[in-house]
Amino acid sequence: MDHQAAGPLSFPLMRLAPELRLLIYEAALIKPRPLLVTSTPCNIHGSHHLRIPNLLSATKQIGKEASPIYFGLNTVVVHTKYETLEYGWLEGLTRQQQSSLRDVRFAPCSNPYRSTDVARRAIRELYWLLGRKHIEVLDERIFWVAVSEDDMMGSDDALWVSVDAVKPYRGKAEEWSV
């Protein structure tokens, strides 16, 4: 019996109902840990951009359907070396990806912000600057900044601060950096 070499198996994803495709995207794209952006060499495990899964560029249709899941349901953590809120990584995203972001946290490698007022001012300045650069972030409330009166991130008084909310840091800094 003559066997022919089998070609790669393909799955007719686009023939599935949109609801089923969304469930597949969620299973493939929602991560248990934050997506990391390292804008300075403070974390040797990080990179200088946000890694985007190949699935999002498989076809335009898949990118359109799956981007809101990847960018909207995952937390993005941006490591910064100083009290600057790095945004260059956003320029590498499409407008749809930018507007899909829902939880972006800026975690300094050292010297976190020392007051909620200063952190909120930095977020407002970042949002204003993004608007001038035509970066399509939906709302300034998606941005959170680490604030601590203590030198140790993860202590009881460390907080995530947005323009209109505060929540506990919950966990040690190293949990946000691997």
Please say whether the beta carbons of 89 and 48 come within 8 A. yes
**C-alpha span between 57 and 144 (Å, rounded):** 28
- What's the rounded mean pLDDT across residues 9-30? 91
Averaged pLDDT of the chain = 80
The pLDDT score that the predictor gives to residue 29 is 97
The pLDDT score that the predictor gives to residue 177 is 43
Report pLDDT digits (tens) over 54-113.
999 999 999 999 999 999 999 999 887 666 788 888 888 889 999 999 999 988 776 678
- Has residue 175 got a pLDDT over 60? no
Query: What are the residue ranges spanned by the domains of the chain?
Result: 13-176
The pLDDT score that the predictor gives to residue 18 is 95
CA-closest candidate to residue 72, choices 110, 106, 43, 30: 30
The pLDDT score that the predictor gives to residue 48 is 57
133: confidence class by pLDDT, cuts 50, 70, 90: confident
**C-alpha span between 174 and 167 (Å, rounded):** 18
Report pLDDT digits (tens) over 149-164.
654 444 556 788 999 8
**C-alpha span between 161 and 145 (Å, rounded):** 5
Which two three-digit tokens encode residue 98? 């930018």
**C-alpha span between 83 and 69 (Å, rounded):** 30
